[in-house]
Chains A and B, each alone.
Chain A
Amino acid sequence: MATTATLHSHAPQGFIRKYIFSLDHKVIGLQYFFLALTAVWVGMFLSLLMRIHLVWPTASLPLVGEIRPEMYLSLLTMHGTIMVFFVLTTAPQGGFGNYFLPIQIGAPDMAFPVLNMLSFWTTFVGFVLILAAFFVSGGAPLHGWTGYPPLSAVQSAGPGEGLGADLWIASIAIFCIASLMGALNFITTTLDLRAKGMTLMRMPLTVWSWFITAILGLLAFGVLLSAGILLLMDRNLGTSFYVPLIVVNGQILGHKGGSPLLWQHLFWFFGHPEVYIAILPGMGVTSQVLSTFSRKPIFGYKAMVYAMLSIGFLGFMVWGHHMFMSGMSPYSAFAFSLLTMCIGVPSAIKTFNWLGTMWKGRIRFYTPMLFAIGFVSLFVSGGLSGPFLAQPVLDIQLHDTYFVVGHFHLIMGVAAIFGIFAATYYWFPKMFGRMMNEGLGKAHFWLTFIGTYAIFMPMHYLGMAGGTRRYSQYTEVAYLQKLMPIHSFMTYAAIITIASQFIFVINLFWSMFKGPKASDNPWESTTLEWTTATPPPHDNFGGRTPVVNHGPYEYGVPGTAKGFIMQNDPASTPAH
């Protein structure tokens, strides 16, 4: 297309077209990245308030005053929603995926640049709406990020269930629309814009992970969008999709015959694939980084691809494992449990292959590598509590306790965050043309790695002892009072870990302007983004079109001068 060609060859002039309403996937990637960075500080601050309230319930805090139980519930609702949507979905896919997918496949941009810009700005509107929920009368909703009706469907069910809850649903619905646009773009770009020679089986595992994530997003977000619209109708138009005849505060409400479980089915049909949307890009970047810094080809490339595909496929058939205690048929629990256990198999294959990649390598401990190693450790720790929760019979004890909170924070919360950190430290030189400070990076890693375990491992002990989640205080139930020492320990660990994130931000912004200049390929990586200038020009490859002759991870190749082969090196270079 002539217009597209013009677009790519001439970088737009003027601040607004260049940095605000940009069509350049790299600028849009950075916009997503900084949106997620803002969101993660908001989400983290909320968790800090929660941790403080749990241990010092009557403390008066600057800015927020004393936290009331209902405010605690608003904090947890907003923490979960902001983190899941605007951080774990936004940074790895919208941020790094946008920036590097086109470059890694040798394309000049995304397939639909305008759609790309729209999807970012739609996400931005969603973010503004969710923040607005804090400031409306009644405050933010208290129904948790899962928003189970009738609590979420009835305005009188609690504080925050008025306008705050409507904004919350609207924000999520808008986020769904943005993600659908993004998913279409990622899928089309991967299928249609690969450079000559970039066969599917030569794509970096990062590209595979973004591609599969986009497919999951396309299938999952539409369902959540519809579910959210039905919930808005129940709340405002008097429909009864989710609400049967109920009495709230002594008042009989006008609903009849709705099913609260319908929401749970729809929500988790989205919700379970969503955890893979959060973690798959982390798996991709971990594979990329482990191979690069071990100076060895990835162990079992095809197995890694098939494992991600099967995780994505199975991910759509396990949603019922969130509902074992919900009143769903106990027979279906049997099937959901079996399929959930099956997901453990490709997850285990990935772990084996990561260990196999480092085995007999020559490991260079730069900061991205440390975070990738941390990812593997957290993925194992978080993953192994999965088979407990996948068994309905153990969920009788563990469901809705801190055991679950510990599990999902380790595996799809901080493991995914470690993936984001690994990606940031790894690609920062390419994105900003400068190197990050290694000393600060390592300090950040050690404090975060140890701190993460100190916060989330004790949650498993708490959960086994019956420690229920979403309790603003443990003061009202005698057996819970005895568990307070664990809460205190976690709060101290959280304060230290959160404080150490300042090291990251200082390093990030200081290096952006003052870091030493980066070469085009500082890590001696092999994928296409390292073959172009730093930072990449507007059309990514400065007018040339890369031709790919090799697989993505040709490290430690015998008989080569530099020990590795770039993907676009001439075909005559010895490989395989």
Chain B
Amino acid sequence: MGFALLVIIWLITFGSAYFFIAKTWWLPVGAAAAAHWIDGQFALTYVLMGIVFFAAQLSLGYIVCKYRERPSSGPVEYSHGNTTLEVVWTILTAVLFVGLNLMGSSVWASQRFDPAQPGAVPVEVTGMQFAWYFRYPGPDGKYGATSVKLMDPSAGGEAAVGLDTSDPAAKDDVVTGTMFLPVNREVDLSMRSVDVIHSFFVPSLRFKQDAVPGLNIHMHFTPNQIGDYEIACAELCGLGHYKMHGMVKVVSQEDFDKWLAAREAEKQ
């Protein structure tokens, strides 16, 4: 029985580890500036935890096999423990876990402590059951007023987010269902939700943030590769949660300007 446990525990350990090491399923290729740092911290955590995983599971398998009761077994070691060992492994694990935490903290700080740099592309993200809308403030750089009384999700576009067209600043606001972003420029997001909590998750851009009704949350990130990236809602928001998806199209600055100008022209 001890040997069977050793075999099964070791097989589970190597089997589980195989898919981690072979990276059969892995983080999608990162297409944002932060991906390098986030993936680095992920890899570091993964290597350290992998070592502990192997050490703990392999010794568990070994110990239960080695110390199984046999007719030839000698008397057990009558011992209530070893204080020196306790102190040693307490300190070691404390250093490991706290150290890991501190190393990751600088990445977190760079992502979340400071606001976007001046000159970032402003985009407002609005979540509602079960769609995402993106608003660009237009040439004046100012978002126009919105009002819940004017919201008409069935109309889509500007009406969906309740844009108040009597506000001069709203005249040039553009609202779309697909997010366009210029590559290599920071994006200054204002995130809100009109009904329940949603979460704006773009795995390839290493970005996730809840959109919370009543709050306007500012976030920023910098896409650095041209391409199309899928958005999946990551906070349970109702029966259509699984189909609340969208697309981020990261394009060249030139294409972005052309696209925005075309949308502005459409509005006039």
Contact = CB atoms under 8 A, between A and B. Distances in A.
A356 interface: yes
Interface stretch (A168-176, A390-398, A507-515): A390-398
A107 interface: no
17 contacts: A73-B238, A248-B129, A248-B196, A299-B80, A303-B86, A334-B109, A342-B97, A344-B93, A353-B81, A364-B69, A370-B1, A384-B49, A392-B108, A466-B201, A470-B242, A474-B242, A557-B78
Contacts of A245: 148, 213-214
A353 B83 CA distance: 11
A300 B80 contact: yes
Given A390-B101, A453-B12, 14 more contacts: A73-B238, A150-B213, A154-B196, A159-B239, A260-B213, A296-B76, A299-B80, A327-B215, A348-B93, A355-B63, A373-B64, A393-B105, A400-B208, A466-B27
A387 interface: yes
Nearest to A151: B196
A161 B171 CA distance: 39
Contacts of B212: 260-261, 326-327
Contact of A248 (B26, B53, B195): B195
Contacts of A470: 236, 241-242
Contacts of A457: 12, 16
A479 interface: yes
B5 interface: yes
A442 B5 CA distance: 11
Interface string A130-163: 0000000000001110001111001001110000
A297 B77 CA distance: 9
How many chain A residues sit at the interface, stated as a range, is 35 or more
A302 B81 CA distance: 9
Interface string A421-453: 000000000000000000000100010011001
Interface stretch (A87-95, A178-186, A229-237, A374-382): A374-382
B94 A148 contact: no
Contact of A355 (B8, B59, B107): B59
Contact of A387 (B76, B89, B97, B128): B97
A279 to B, nearest CB: 17
A288 to B, nearest CB: 15
Interface string A468-504: 1011111111111001001000000000000000000
A28 interface: no
A250 B151 contact: yes
Contacts of B240: 69
Contacts of A362: 67-69, 73, 76
A5 interface: no
Contacts of A556: 75-78
A398 to B, nearest CB: 9
Interface string B228-268: 00101111111111110100000000000000000000000
B56 to A, nearest CB: 4
Nearest to B65: A363
Given A244-B213, A248-B129, A450 B53 contact: no
Contacts of A298: 80-81
B73 A400 contact: no
Interface string B80-121: 111101100110011001101110110111011100000000
Nearest to B202: A466
A244 B107 CA distance: 33
B90 A345 contact: yes
Contacts of B196: 148-151, 154, 157, 246, 248
A358 interface: yes
Nearest to A576: B80
Contacts of A468: 201, 232-234
B169 interface: no
A299 to B, nearest CB: 5
A352 interface: yes
A414 to B, nearest CB: 13
Interface string A268-308: 00000000000000000000000000111111111100000
Interface of B: 1-2, 5, 8-9, 12, 16, 19-20, 24-28, 34, 37-38, 41-42, 45-46, 48-49, 52-53, 56-57, 59-60, 63-64, 67-69, 73, 75-83, 85-86, 89-90, 93-94, 97-98, 100-102, 104-105, 107-109, 111-113, 128-129, 148-149, 151-154, 194-197, 199, 201, 203, 206-210, 212-215, 217, 230, 232-243, 245
Contacts of A302: 81
A397 B45 CA distance: 14
Contacts of A569: none
Contacts of B107: 393
A299 B81 contact: yes
Interface in A296-348: 296-303, 325-327, 330-331, 333-334, 337-338, 341-342, 344-345, 348
A462 B105 CA distance: 25
Contact of A393 (B48, B98, B104): B104
A222 interface: no
B77 A296 contact: yes
B25 A464 contact: yes
A246 B210 CA distance: 16
B45 A391 contact: yes
A492 B201 CA distance: 29
A252 interface: yes
A377 B240 CA distance: 38
A341 B214 contact: no
B86 A391 contact: no
A151 B237 contact: yes
Given A300-B86, A349-B90, A465-B26, A396 B232 contact: no
A325 B209 contact: yes
Contact of B111 (A381, A396, A483): A396
- Could you say which of B38, B45, B81, B113 has the most chain A C-beta atoms within 10 Å of its C-beta? B81
B23 to A, nearest CB: 9
A351 to B, nearest CB: 6
A310 B24 CA distance: 38
Contacts of B57: 377, 380-381
B111 to A, nearest CB: 7
A51 to B, nearest CB: 16
Contacts of A446: 8
B220 to A, nearest CB: 12
A151 B236 contact: yes
B45 to A, nearest CB: 5
Contact of B64 (A327, A337, A358): A358
A300 B68 contact: no
Contact of A246 (B56, B111, B195): B195
Contacts of B38: 393-394, 396-397
